[in-house]
Amino acid sequence: MSSLRSRFGYCLAVGLAAVCLLGVTAGSAVAAGMPARIQATQQLAVLSTAHGVRQEPEAGAPQTELLPARGPITGEPTTVPVIGALTGSDGVQWLRVMLPGRPNGSTGWIAQQGTRRLVTSWHLVVALAERRVQVYSVGHLVRAFQAVVGKPSTPTPTGEFFVEETLQMSSGEPGGPFALALSARSDVLQEFEGGPGQIAIHGLDNLGGTLGAAESHGCIRLATASIDWLATRIGPGTPVTIQA
pLDDT one-digit tens code per residue, 18-52: 222 222 233 333 334 445 468 999 999 999 999 99
pLDDT of residue 11: 36
Q: How far apart are CA 240 and CA 25, in angstroms?
A: 18
CA distance to 37, 81, 141, 225, per residue, from 45 (Å): 20, 6, 25, 30
pLDDT of residue 174: 76
The top-scoring range by mean pLDDT among 13-22, 25-34, 195-204 is 195-204
Q: How far apart are CA 188 and CA 199, in angstroms?
A: 11
Q: How far apart are CA 228 and CA 95, in angstroms?
A: 33
Across 10-24, 83-97, 139-153, 170-184, least confident range: 10-24
What is the rounded average pLDDT for all residues in the chain? Answer: 83
pLDDT at residue 163 tops 90: yes
The radius of gyration of the chain's CA atoms, rounded to the nearest angstrom, is: 18
pLDDT of residue 190: 60
Instruction: Phi first, then psi: give them for residue 88, nearest 5 degrees.
Output: -75, 170
The pLDDT tens digits for 88-147 are 888 999 999 999 999 999 999 999 999 999 999 999 999 999 999 999 999 999 999 999
More confidently predicted of 211 and 109? 109
CB 93 within 8 A of CB 123: no
Residue 208: pLDDT band by 50, 70, 90 thresholds?
low
